[in-house]
Chains A and B, each alone.
Chain A
Amino acid sequence: MTTLEQQPARGEGRKDPWSQLLVKVGKSRDRQAYHSLFEHFAPQLKYYAMANGMASHAEELVQEVFVSIWRRACLYDWQKAAASTWIFTIARNQRIDMLRKMRRTSAEMHVETEDLWQIPGEDDNEPVTSLHRLMSERRVRESLKHLPEEQITVIAKVYMEQKSHQMVADELNIPLGTVKSRVRLALNKLKVILQDQNV
């Protein structure tokens, strides 16, 4: 059941509702909060699995992600990542992990999936840069509103359909250079591009 949490006063206003629910799951194993997260994220995750070619394992992926959310919620730090970002990275890792396990035996796996792909906000040594990160989440959402459709289309294919830039170029029948410049323009808006790597 829900308990009262002690939050830094200035932080309360910045925590989005999903992150609040996830904190409750982590701190007090709150099943109602867990169910709300399920209602919100499960249909997104199912589409994610289907879009990237795991149609026959889509529900399995959703289940694995949610079991993982339950188990890892205690490691979640809302000051380091928003719940949606954290859940996205768990879904990504779970997808990679399922595909790896389908393709080869455990004896062939020298490193774990999570040795290669990190989950934000679970590293105790990382200094809290909450302001920066939560701003970045908000900034992403804001920036996307102003991006041209053609840039969003390309990025969606990379994230949702796991397409390489070359595959996106082939599918949209545009040169590879055009795909890359669309991505760079978008990433420039999101301030991901470093100054010396500018467009």
Chain B
Amino acid sequence: MTRHHPESLSLMDYSAGNLSEPYALCIRLHLDECSLCRSRVDTLDSLGAVMMEQQPKVSVSESMFDSILARIDSSPAPQPAAKPAPKISVLQKLLGEDINNLPWKRQLGDVSVLDITEKFPGQNEQVVLQKLVSGGKAPAHTHRGTETTIVLQGAFADQNGVFNQWDFVVLTDQDEHTPVAVGCEDCITLSVLSAPVKLTGTFTRMLNPFIS
């Protein structure tokens, strides 16, 4: 059970369908593993439904229902059970690989990164996978803009606590931290950056989010 959840306002933006794809992916990955947030989103979806119900109505053209019937008659409804896809599929689909077998780029001692921004064409954010080897430590840094992170594997700890698999973290330019990978697995995270990271220590030449 995860202990760090997305903020209510972000869940509302998700429910309203207002998030860009990278942010929606972070929320979706969290929801898949967090029944508490699923029920929060269910309530928010109901809020959306009630909002829609309370707005004005606009009549549709007379022939529309017949055209819909014509469409459903021309292609038979698929049978149930055809639909449910396994949970891992979102990340697998996106990356085409297990997250441990990706072409990671070593940045400094303990940190590797993989920029997957190109998987989200037309979006403004930078999207980065980061790996901190078990027991490894990332240099101190702050952020420009906001960085939204979800833990995909393992766990890390910083000044704010321990973040386990599927935990959700949002850091702003006010936060400086020095994450350490805890546990016996490498810690892998997915981060969405609204602006590049700013290093505070001596590693000024590097752009490295785990460092996040």
The contact string, 1 if C-beta is below 8 Å from chain B, for chain A 22-40, is 0000000101000100100
CB closest chain-A residue, reference B61:
A59
Residue in contact with A67 in the complex, picked from B41, B72, B79, CB distance below 8 Å: B72
A111 touches B58 (CB 8 A): no
Q: Which residues of B contact A165 (CB under 8 A)?
A: 9
CB <8 Å contact, A140 and B43: yes
**Residue A184 is within 8 A (CB to CB) of chain B in the complex:** yes
Interface residues in B129-151 by Cβ distance below 8 A to A read none
Smallest beta-carbon distance B117→chain A, Å: 12
With A43-B57, A62-B64, A192-B11 known as contacts, the answer to whether A92 contacts B17 (CB < 8 A) is: yes
Whether A133 lies near B121 (C-beta < 8 A) is no
Given A43-B59, A63-B68, A162-B16, A88 contacting B39 (CB threshold 8 A): no
Give the residue name and chain of the B residue nearest to A73 (CB).
Answer: B77
B15 CB contacts on chain A under 8 angstroms: 92, 159
Determine the distance from Cα of A141 to Cα of B55 in the docked complex, in whole angstroms: 14
Q: B52 at interface (Cβ–Cβ under 8 A)?
A: yes
- In residues 1-57 of chain A, which contact B (Cβ within 8 Å)? 29, 31, 35, 38, 42-48, 50-51
Q: State whether A47 and B55 are in contact (beta carbons under 8 Å apart), knowing that A63-B71, A194-B5 are contacts in the complex.
A: yes
As a 0/1 sequence over residues 27 to 59 of chain B, the CB contacts with chain A under 8 angstroms (1 = contact) are 010010001101111111111111111111111
- When distances are taken between beta carbons in the complex, the residues of chain B under 8 Å from A116 are 21, 24-25, 28, 90
A156 on interface, CB distance cutoff 8 Å: yes
Contacts of A89 in B (CB 8 A): 45, 48
- Decide if A122 touches B84 in the complex (CB within 8 Å): yes
Chain A residue numbers with a CB within 8 Å of B35 are 126
> Total interface residues on B, using CB and 8 Å?
65
Q: How far is A99 from B125 in the complex, measured between Cα atoms in Å?
A: 18
* Contact of B121 (CB < 8 Å), options: A35, A104, A141, A197: A104
Q: Is A128 interfacial (CB 8 A cutoff)?
A: no
Tell whether B124 is near chain A: CB-to-CB under 8 Å. no
Chain A 58-75 interface residues, beta-carbon cutoff 8 Å to B: 58-59, 62-63, 66-67, 70-72, 74-75
- B64 and A42: CB pair below 8 A? yes
CA distance A165 to B19 in the complex (A): 12
Does the CB pair B47–A184 fall under 8 Å? no
| Residues of A close to B56: CB separation below 8 A | 47
| Known contacts A88-B49, A104-B122: A51-B55 contact under CB 8 Å | yes
Asked, given contacts A51-B55, A160-B52, A197-B7, whether A67 binds B45 with beta carbons under 8 Å apart, the answer is: no
User: Can you list 9 pairs linking A and B with CB atoms under 8 Å apart?
Assistant: A38-B68, A42-B65, A70-B68, A84-B46, A93-B17, A126-B35, A155-B51, A187-B44, A194-B40
Binding site for B on A (CB under 8 A): 29, 31, 35, 38, 42-48, 50-51, 58-59, 62-63, 66-67, 70-72, 74-75, 81-82, 84-85, 87-89, 91-93, 95-96, 103-104, 108, 110-111, 115-118, 120, 122-124, 126, 129, 132-133, 136-137, 139-141, 144, 155-156, 158-160, 162-165, 180, 183-184, 187, 190-194, 197
- A-B contact sample (9 more), CB < 8 A, given A88-B49, A118-B31, A180-B9: A43-B57, A47-B52, A67-B68, A74-B79, A92-B15, A108-B122, A136-B46, A155-B12, A159-B16
